[in-house]
Chains A and B, each alone.
Chain A
């Protein structure tokens, strides 16, 4: 294997890993605050579409990226309203997003481009050449010349690590994912904290979607997320709910994807190769499964429904007196 094959492989690994990594970081941030977001897949596809469409219309890919992130925030606002404020089931709402995302994209796509499969070419974001580094042999091509999402993603990993572990906002986010009651008793607003985390996660998931359509291929294809949103959900667990861990887990899954592309001409049936990332996911989760320690209140609604159960008024009009016993 020559040096260039290896650098090619590393580049393709980081490239394929980046959308997963952004999605994973979205999961991480929102789950650290105790809200499970399994709607990443849906958010990614609708953002990928919105990004491509905006870029197509305005000819400005940066505007497209912004539009994609905005849609990500709007989609996650549904989780905020339905799950956080109305106490709806987080998993069901997430499934709703996963249905809404592709459905909406498909509908508008057929209207906009009169094509059900792929969009025409749209202006994408160009690779960034880093001045001095690009001239270093071997390292140069690995570090330089990639699409901006790769650098943004690494920046987000560092920033999220700093925010979570070194700022008061991060301490509060981690606390609200561990014990929302404790957070409420020191006079903080659990709803606002959780909402902020979910919305930031939504923006990241939006960015993940945009990185698919505007990062390298510069078209939008129906179903182009190919379950990367679910891989992200798994990578977050594998990465132990930490930004750095999430990124490394995404790189692992990304490398499987890169391996698949590389081995397409090897004669192994493509169906088997396509299974690689998912089999890795299952193996990874099986191996680490026992050691995982999720945030204690991950996926636990606040306030917890049992502790605030209210009597059904219509059915039990006669049982008024007994409620006295339920006060304390």
Chain B
């Protein structure tokens, strides 16, 4: 702190933003941040790493004025400030891109960007023309190439993210906090984002980059800070720390990477999907003529940019979406357009992509959620009338142990669990009975890598016991690590299947975007 005081008196400070001794307690006893120090140098890309629940979010929310710390102070360019709310943070040049994009889909880019700092003519009339010109200028100077008059919902997610960045630049932010910006992007879009970040850095901005994907850190970060259990563990540079060491710092123990073992794939076809088409919105087809089969013990990965038919595919198999053409057979029996209950009774499990809406009933207790798939059958039910809560609870206790769901009691509401643990509840429930087929949609999205690893292991174990698995994921690393084959969906069509052991990210990424290697690839995400 003495050093900082000196810097302050000298009028020059090498740090753009500092947090010193931040402590934040939620409720009576949950210590989210315990005396955390964080220093962001001017013009650097600083990665902030940690598992879910490590306190990253609390720290950056503090830096953005959304959370007020119990103690500690924040310095902006060596000057102490009190960030009462995000308006004050914005005034101090701090901006944040949230993981969930904070955009209004039906409004134009210009309206979204200027919201809160509108440009008006005399008399208070909005001057949209001038706003658009100003945004175009920012956009061009960073090479974003965005048309400010387009409604946001028409833009791909990667471009929407750039709109968020423009929102910050428009407010003259020079400290940009990016909260897991690559979570929703394809590899190509991620690369574009990294270029954007490089560009931002060159023009003198300082960037905090939150992630739990270790590889990305080595691609762009100048320095990195690791957090665990609410404490700051260390600040280091990529050159000093290798990936294994970094993973160890994050988890607090050495992490074993899941070894890809050769599994035995049976010869019996479990799921046979033939020429399936599903109607989508506005006369477009959500799925068009998709065919594939999955054998006993096989894991078929499905890659694709979100919204290219993955959700509909999963829902069609489990009976939640009407199939307009084609047939789906499970062990030879036709199951398309059958009731979900009927399909589930054929030992089909489903991990839906939207766990909070489709996978769980958040206000229900954990043990209730763990019994949702079979509460009406023995041993959970007696006759048609009686629920056997003792058995349900006993079983829940067992599942909590098996699947490492971190909670003190099965009597807690599922909504109280962190994202990763909620997901473990869904996975635990679906895998609690032997299955013929498991449909897993985005099983590890938003889950820290230790939990993700254990979820992947459970899915592989299920496959080893003979379950056919359809694994839909936007995480290509996961697909390549786990799948036997990877199918790529583009605009509802099956554009090709590659062997899991031979697939490369570049190849998959190009298939996902629908470009071939030698076509002089222009990123499809740059919309004029």
Contacts and interface: CB of A to CB of B under 8 A. Distances in A.
Interface of A: 166-168, 170-172, 174-175, 178-179, 181-188, 293, 296, 306, 309-311, 316, 318-328
B416 A179 contact: no
A296 B104 CA distance: 9
Contact of A318 (B26, B171, B409): B409
B407 interface: yes
B98 A175 contact: no
Contacts of A185: 66, 86, 96, 98, 102
B418 interface: yes
Contacts of B421: 325
Given A172-B116, A325-B421, A186 B90 contact: yes
A327 B417 contact: no
Contacts of B120: 167-168
Given A167-B120, A185-B98, A187-B90, A324 B53 contact: yes
Given A166-B125, A322-B416, A327-B230, 9 more contacts: A167-B125, A174-B107, A175-B111, A178-B104, A182-B102, A187-B86, A309-B413, A320-B28, A325-B53
Contact of A326 (B29, B66, B90, B417): B417
Nearest to A320: B29
B415 interface: yes
B111 A171 contact: yes
B396 to A, nearest CB: 14
A183 B120 CA distance: 18
Interface in B45-98: 52-58, 66, 85-90, 96, 98
Nearest to A178: B104
A182 B409 contact: no
A325 B407 contact: yes
A202 B54 CA distance: 46
Interface of B: 26-32, 52-58, 66, 85-90, 96, 98, 100, 102-107, 111-112, 114-118, 120, 124-126, 167, 171, 230, 356, 362-363, 406-409, 411-413, 415-419, 421
Given A171-B118, A323-B416, A187 B126 contact: no
B116 A328 contact: no
Given A167-B120, A322-B408, A327 B418 contact: yes
Please provide the 4 A-B residue pairs with the shortest distance between their CB atoms, ordered closest to farther.
Answer: A187-B87, A168-B118, A186-B116, A182-B102
Contact of B26 (A170, A183, A327): A327
Contact of A328 (B31, B53, B363): B53
Nearest to B57: A328
A179 B86 contact: no
B124 A168 contact: yes
A328 B451 CA distance: 14
B495 to A, nearest CB: 32
Residue among A166, A172, A178, A306 with the highest chain B CB neighbour number at 10 A:
A166
Contacts of B115: 171-172, 175, 182-183, 186, 188
Interface of B is mostly: loop
A328 B126 contact: no
Contacts of A174: 107
Interface of A is mostly: helix
A122 to B, nearest CB: 39
A183 B118 CA distance: 13
Given A166-B125, A167-B126, A171-B126, A179 B104 contact: yes
A323 B29 contact: yes
Given A168-B126, A178-B104, A182-B102, A323 B26 contact: yes
Contacts of A184: 86
A142 B111 CA distance: 40
Nearest to A319: B408
Nearest to B100: A181
B126 A322 contact: no
Contacts of A179: 102-104
A306 B363 CA distance: 8
B51 to A, nearest CB: 9
Contacts of A293: 106
Contacts of A188: 87, 115-116
Contact of B53 (A167, A182, A306, A327): A327
Residue among A184, A311, A323 with the highest chain B CB neighbour number at 10 A:
A323
A186 B86 contact: yes
Nearest to B30: A323
A186 B362 CA distance: 29
A196 to B, nearest CB: 15
B412 A316 contact: yes
A182 B53 CA distance: 24
Contacts of B356: 306
A324 B98 contact: no
Residue among B31, B115, B409 with the highest chain A CB neighbour number at 10 A:
B115
Given A172-B115, A175-B107, A325 B406 contact: yes
A310 B230 CA distance: 20
Residue among A187, A318, A327 with the highest chain B CB neighbour number at 10 A:
A327
8 contacts: A179-B103, A184-B86, A186-B90, A186-B102, A320-B30, A322-B412, A324-B406, A327-B26
A182 B105 CA distance: 11
Contacts of A181: 100, 102
Contact of B167 (A186, A310, A323): A186
B408 A318 contact: yes
Contact of B407 (A170, A306, A322): A322
A175 B114 CA distance: 11
A327 B62 CA distance: 14
Given A179-B103, A182-B104, A306 B96 contact: no
A324 B29 CA distance: 9
Given A167-B126, A179-B103, A319 B56 contact: no
A326 B124 CA distance: 45
Contacts of B362: 306, 309
A282 to B, nearest CB: 27
Nearest to B416: A326
A232 B31 CA distance: 50
A97 B450 CA distance: 52
Contact of A325 (B27, B55, B90, B418): B418
B54 A328 contact: yes
